[in-house]
Structure 1
């Protein structure tokens, strides 16, 4: 299946979730760290989730589950929510209650209580979310959380089912996409977020989201939420 360049609309980015409202395009099969919720703005949205074809007004895609969006040009509200921050069922309920309103859903997500984390994990996560440097080696993250690298890895994978590397990559992608949508070239955005070049960033975007960065980003408008 070839991806189409038809993703377009408005992207709102908060520290632990993102909302995309507009026209959905098809994607190649992919998997990413965030929970994803697809909300049809009319009719039903269609996706292949874990190898099963699903059609419904609201579809839930858990973190790490391979999926592909199949309905081209379907008006859709998409929510990406960090598993570290949110309980899946609580976010799902918000999606049902808010319907296809971007403003109502953002308000409900803002009001949701965040998960209580181990203090060391919370400190590490705060450092990752504040990612500004070009790189964030695991050694630095472990030191700032007062842990050894092995302790940090066990804390992430044992408690959360996600590796340090995968979480850092997610936030580097978030930073790169925000910079690109704000007007930076793909090359400048890639370098600022720690990717070796624009091709490295593009490969990561394709793997995480199943779309081409150069075709997709030009059609999106960015709003960074406080």
Structure 2
């Protein structure tokens, strides 16, 4: 399962699925590798077909991408990248036709496995291509924040992520840390910590661990807590990620079986 640990983004790919009407806080880019999907937004009475869609934060929508493979990108809307994406939206969603989809996916293979190493550059180029006008400049990393990030990304994950404990690690006051962290990463500390925990959980699930094991590894109280948070942020569940991971693993092994 292609997963890239960015401060506030998560990418994955696999078979398309159908979702009932829902909303989630993360911005959501879905691109069909081939074919099209249908989407219904807000109170619209009819579905619209497109080769891809970018959905704004907390926008009620329903999707049907069955019968095709999709590439998904979730972005924290309060992050630097999220603000740039939000600036590109003139409505609650942005639709992409086949030509626009092909341009966005040009650096990735059109079918079969997607190399993990290709996902990071694709995310970067896609966010740049879709970014709207914004006066927000690229953040400059504070050295104490860089130190804290190394601590947060260490393995195993630190158990105490209270503001007081993190301020002590960084060597800054609590108030100064919150300000410096947002300036340095483009996302406030608490949303970043949530994204990091979700990314840890997603990585654990993709590696074959159960939802309960993933929840424990990422600092959630139990699998139910992880599932609720996944659904709120991404509009899906850890079990959905497990199915995608199994699909990707089966695709990767297919050439060996022939």
**Partner SS for 2:205:** helix
Pair 1:59 & 2:53 matched: yes
Residue 143 of structure 1 corresponds to 168
Pair 1:209 & 2:218 matched: no
Residue 95 of structure 1 corresponds to 104
Alignment CA distance shift 1:167-1:155 (3 Å): same
TM-score, normalised to structure 1's length?
Answer: 0.69
The number of equivalent residue pairs is 209
Match of 2:204 among 161, 175, 179: 179
**Distance in 1 separating the partners of 2:185 and 2:48:** 27
**Distance in 2 separating the partners of 1:100 and 1:40:** 12
Q: CA deviation at 1:190?
A: 1.0
TM-score, normalised to structure 2's length?
Answer: 0.62
**Residues 17 and 65 in structure 2, CA contact (< 8 A), matched pair in contact too:** yes
**Distance in 2 separating the partners of 1:182 and 1:135:** 25
Unaligned segments of structure 1, at least 5 residues = 1-10
* Structure of larger gyration radius: 2
Match of 1:194 among 196, 201, 219: 219
Pair 1:117 & 2:137 matched: no
- Cα RMSD (Å) of the superposition? 3.9
**Partner SS for 1:144:** helix
Q: CA deviation at 1:191?
A: 1.4
**Residues 15 and 129 in structure 1, CA contact (< 8 A), matched pair in contact too:** no
Unaligned segments of structure 2, at least 5 residues = 89-100, 129-137, 250-258
Residue 6 of structure 1 corresponds to none
- The one of the two structures with greater contact order (alpha-carbon pairs below 8 A, sep at least 6) is 1
Residue 46 of structure 1 corresponds to 38
**Residues 167 and 173 in structure 2, CA contact (< 8 A), matched pair in contact too:** yes
Q: CA deviation at 1:207?
A: 1.2
Residue 16 of structure 2 corresponds to 24
**The structure with more strand, counted as a fraction of residues:** 1
**Residues 23 and 60 in structure 2, CA contact (< 8 A), matched pair in contact too:** yes
**Residues 47 and 68 in structure 1, CA contact (< 8 A), matched pair in contact too:** yes
Q: CA deviation at 1:165?
A: 1.8
Q: CA deviation at 1:183?
A: 2.4
